[in-house]
Amino acid sequence: MVPSSVDQDRLNLRPKKFLMWLFIITSFMLFAALTSGFIVYTAGDPSRGIKMILPKLFLYSSIAIVASSVTMHLAYGAAKKLQFSRQRLFLAITIVLGILFFVMQLLSWRGLIENGVYFVNPNASQSFLYVLTGAHLLHIFAGLIVLLTSFAGTFKSVAQVKNVFRMEMAAIFWHFLDILWIYLYVFLLLNQ
């Protein structure tokens, strides 16, 4: 029996989903290693702590990324229901919120520098702050590319299986970035 084109499309997409999960697991391990390194560095001597109050923009950017996860979920739901205009709308809002998060993080760095917290300094825990948020920003940049690709794809005539798959991949990655940021933010709050 020959598989139908829809079944064939699903079979061809499975390896891509596996690669996405592999990337997510690898990224999780990277951040686990970085936060473990921070814990080991600061555990030996309490004076090695961050010794600063985190920028308020971290809180506001957290709100933006959580809201973007909600709009991403709504965009994915709209795609499954063939509501393409709602899919585009919620995807566009997600992109705007993602860019807002990115900008707020960069402004947070500027605020840190203005307060004398530099990447290179005798207190490596403050350097960890830049490394953790910088690595997350690189992932956000990649996530924005995924979202923009998904958004551009909504204007093309593709099979619904591929449209939903594209949205599912974008949603998985974006939700991962949201969860990762919440983890990092709470971790940094507890260690400030």
What confidence score (pLDDT) does residue 115 get?
85
What confidence score (pLDDT) does residue 5 get?
54
* pLDDT mean across residues, the chain: 89
User: Tokens 């919620």 label which residue?
Assistant: 90
pLDDT tens readout for residues 93-125: 999 999 999 999 999 999 989 888 888 877 788
The answer to whether the CB of 142 falls within 8 A of the CB of 174 is: no
User: Tokens 């402004």 label which residue?
Assistant: 107
Q: Residue 24 and residue 105: Cα distance in Å, rounded?
A: 21
What confidence score (pLDDT) does residue 2 get?
47
What confidence score (pLDDT) does residue 10 get?
53
DSSP 3: P
What confidence score (pLDDT) does residue 9 get?
54
CATH of the domain at 77: 1.20.120.80
Task: State which residues form the domain around 78.
Answer: 5-45+53-190
Residue among 33, 54, 186, 40 nearest 124 (CA):
40
What confidence score (pLDDT) does residue 140 get?
97
Q: Which residues of the chain have pLDDT under 70?
A: 1-11, 44-51
What confidence score (pLDDT) does residue 123 get?
76
Number of domains, the chain: 1
Q: How far is CA 24 from CA 17, 143, 165, in A?
A: 11, 12, 17
What confidence score (pLDDT) does residue 22 get?
95
What length does the chain have?
Answer: 192
The pTM of the full predicted model, rounded to 2 decimals, is 0.88
Cβ neighbours of residue 119 closer than 8 Å, sequence gap 6 or more = 126, 127, 130
What confidence score (pLDDT) does residue 78 get?
96
Q: How many helices (H) and strands (E) does the chain have?
A: 5, 0
